[in-house]
Chains A and B, each alone.
Chain A
Amino acid sequence: MSFINYASREINCKIVYYGPGLCGKTTNLQFIYSKTAPEAKGKMISLATETERTLFFDFLPLALGEIKGFKTRFHLYTVPGQVFYDASRKLILKGVDGVVFVADSQEERMDANIESIENLQINLKEQGYELNKLPFVIQYNKRDLPYVIPVEEMRQELNMMNVPDFEACATTGEGVFETLKAVAKLILIDLKKGK
């Protein structure tokens, strides 16, 4: 649910990065943070455990520029991926405008990907959203690693809705901005329809 402020002439939108534990959601945000000009970004906040696993969320505010005289701001959040943090994941989906699903391309993580995308659908439904009505993109991360599943196979398992999808390597940044741009664009197109 975007927030349009006529007084300060701003549009604020919320993007949530979802996916199984250790798939690279936080790494996506860290790369975006490192490559964004200082004036376009706010402080990145990570609520993480001592072993750097996301405990509640990561948060990164970005200012993209102006549309029709309104400053567009995107608030990027990640959820904790570990299965047992489900209660926290649900909270972060509140008021979401667009979702990025980050899938781990490694063979042994395919079951975790499927479980996580099903969990995403369930949790969205609890908040009154339908995944197929939300701006949604998929990222196949860790393409640089050995023993990855072919993209075509991952697409069949995860991208049933045929949404925009991207290959990525979040540590080097490949595909990271493409993913972000795609979801931001879908959100703005939704906004145009006055949703």
Chain B
Amino acid sequence: MATPQMIMYEDEFKQLNTVLEKLLREANAKVIFLVDKNGQLISGVGETERFDTTSLASLTAGNIAATGGLAKLIGEKEFSILFHEGEKDNLHISIVGGRVILVVLFDSRSSLGLVRLRVKKASEELAAVFDRLAQRAEEREKGGDGDFPFAEITDDDIDNLFS
């Protein structure tokens, strides 16, 4: 497989959210999302209920993928930061640890400079958590997996989904 399966555990999930909450406060942002490069929403903090988070995650990943394609065409590895300026709200999108996408939505109560500064610091902390996750995934791969819940799925479980 091109990329190993992504598994999120509760410990790491809590750690990620702590970093995101801190970034939300320090950057004076409205809402922050963490999205997998494949378009799956990992987590969101702030006024998340105001947004269609699933669509947002998928379009952000599409956006990053398209920009990444452009980067390769001109000989760049990737464009690690994208900024979209709107009339009221702005989006700061950046790639963390080469793997996940950090989306910060902010308005005039914050500024691009502040967001960039805080994102840079938070990115390092987030990357560290994802490194740990990758390590856990590797260990799981090596050691087989005793507690993998889906090994026990029966054909009936699958059929029941479609009944």
Q: Which residues of A contact B (CB under 8 A)?
A: 1-8, 11-12, 14, 42-43, 45, 47, 56-57, 59, 61, 64-65, 67-70, 72, 75, 87-88, 90-92, 94-95, 127-129, 181, 184-185, 188-189, 191-195
Contact B38 A1 (CB under 8 A): yes
Size band of the B side of the interface?
A: 35 or more
Name which residue of chain B comes closest to A2, CB basis. Answer: B5
Contact of A68 among B58, B69, B150 (CB under 8 A): B150
Q: How long is the Cα–Cα vector from A45 to B60 in the complex, in angstroms?
A: 13
User: Is B10 part of the binding interface, using a Cβ–Cβ cutoff of 8 Å?
Assistant: yes
Q: How long is the Cα–Cα vector from A129 to B39 in the complex, in angstroms?
A: 18
Asked if A12 meets B40 with Cβ closer than 8 Å, knowing A1-B1, A1-B6, the reply is: yes
12 contacts between A and B (CB under 8 A): A1-B3, A3-B6, A6-B13, A14-B40, A42-B52, A43-B52, A56-B62, A70-B150, A75-B39, A91-B65, A191-B150, A192-B153
CB contacts (< 8 Å) of A43 on chain B: these are: 52, 54-55
Q: Which residues of B contact A (CB under 8 A)?
A: 1-10, 13-14, 36-40, 42, 52, 54-55, 58-59, 62, 65-66, 68-69, 145, 148-153, 157-158, 160-162
What number of A-B contacts does a CB cutoff of 8 Å give?
A: 133
Q: How long is the Cα–Cα vector from A75 to B55 in the complex, in angstroms?
A: 10
Name which residue of chain B comes closest to A182, CB basis. Answer: B162
Contact A4 B65 (CB under 8 A): no
CB contacts (< 8 Å) of B13 on chain A: these are: 5-8
Q: How long is the Cα–Cα vector from A70 to B8 in the complex, in angstroms?
A: 13
Contact of B2 among A64, A91, A127 (CB under 8 A): A127
Contact B39 A95 (CB under 8 A): yes
Contact of B161 among A4, A59, A67, A92 (CB under 8 A): A67
Contact B52 A64 (CB under 8 A): no
Asked if A191 meets B40 with Cβ closer than 8 Å, knowing A3-B8, A4-B6, A56-B66, the reply is: no
